[in-house]
Amino acid sequence: MVTDSTERVRTAHRAWKRQTFRRDAYTPALGRLKEMAPGHDCCMYCGQNLADHIDHYVPMNHDPLQAFSWLNYLLACSACNSRFKKGTHAVDDTGTPMLVNPTVEDPFVHLHLVLDTGEYCGLSPRGEYTVSTCGLNADKRPDARRHARDVMSLALEQWWTARDRGLPDEMSRALSVIQDQPFAGVFQAMLRQAVRSEADLLFAGIGNNGRLLDILRSPGAQSELRASV
């Protein structure tokens, strides 16, 4: 028996795939989401700069009426959208969605990036759910975050040296290296964790961590970097 709900889901899926919709609405909306995203094509779930899909935060199967709601659209990479999250959508006892939505809340309240390993761990049940549902520690993702961390650390030292010497072009080049790294969230985590009381522990295991912390804690450096990347 086909229920009204089932038929609404089918209708939403058909309309979502319609060629005229893809051309006139999907493509412009995808472009707008990319303009709004931090970094370059930054996936709202894993943070990697491979986002090329519109993900429905509340999947069409759960609420087809939100299929064409702008507020339900998140920029996502293919892996998060089609391989990991797919149609998953759980809510807690209060009806709050378990998946952290970075467009309306601070993901770092629920997620902690371990700078040494490149892995995310959940700080709350919703954080743990998000790590699992989006495969944040799957495959080579932690390796890639560690690599981005090391490249950004070197660029940060170059930026600091150029700043000391009053060389704006070199400062811009170093900032570009940071901005172009594939995981925007890694640098945000470094900025935040550097000013915590346990920063020495959080940065343990990272090459030249003392120098990094000196830079990230220097007066003016935090605000300059936050405004630039």
Where do the H-state alpha helices sit in the chain?
4-17, 19-21, 27-36, 78, 125-133, 141-165, 168-179, 184-194, 199-202, 209-217, 221-228
Instruction: Determine, following the binding rule CB under 5 A, whether residue 45 of this chain makes contact with Zn ion.
Output: yes
Instruction: Determine, following the binding rule CB under 5 A, whether residue 43 of this chain makes contact with Zn ion.
Output: yes
Instruction: Determine, following the binding rule CB under 5 A, whether residue 46 of this chain makes contact with Zn ion.
Output: yes
Using DSSP's 3-state secondary structure scheme, residue 142 falls into: helix
Contact region with Zn ion (CB under 5 A), list: 40-48, 93-101, 155-163, 198-206? 40-48
Instruction: Determine, following the binding rule CB under 5 A, whether residue 84 of this chain makes contact with Zn ion.
Output: no
Q: Considering beta carbons, is residue 47 or 64 the nearer one to Zn ion?
A: 47
Q: Considering beta carbons, is residue 45 or 187 the nearer one to Zn ion?
A: 45
Separation CA 53–CA 84 (nearest Å): 14
Instruction: Determine, following the binding rule CB under 5 A, whether residue 77 of this chain makes contact with Zn ion.
Output: yes
Ramachandran sector of residue 139 (left: φ over 0; alpha: ψ -120 to 50; beta: rest): left
- Total of chain residues touching Zn ion, rule CB under 5 A: 5
Instruction: Determine, following the binding rule CB under 5 A, whether residue 186 of this chain makes contact with Zn ion.
Output: no
Contact region with Zn ion (CB under 5 A), list: 23-31, 80-88, 178-186, 194-202? 80-88
Rounded least distance, CB 85 to Zn ion, Å: 9
Of 47, 33, 37, nearest in space to 188 by CA: 47
Whether residue 190 contacts residue 47, with contact meaning beta carbons closer than 8 Å, is answered with no
Instruction: Determine, following the binding rule CB under 5 A, whether residue 178 of this chain makes contact with Zn ion.
Output: no
Determine which residue in the list 12, 80, 148, 202 makes contact with Zn ion, applying CB under 5 A: 80
Tell me the backbone φ, ψ of residue 227, rounded to 5 degrees.
-75, -20
Rounded least distance, CB 136 to Zn ion, Å: 8
Number of residues that make up the chain: 229
In the complex, the residues that contact Zn ion under the rule CB under 5 A are: 43, 45-46, 77, 80
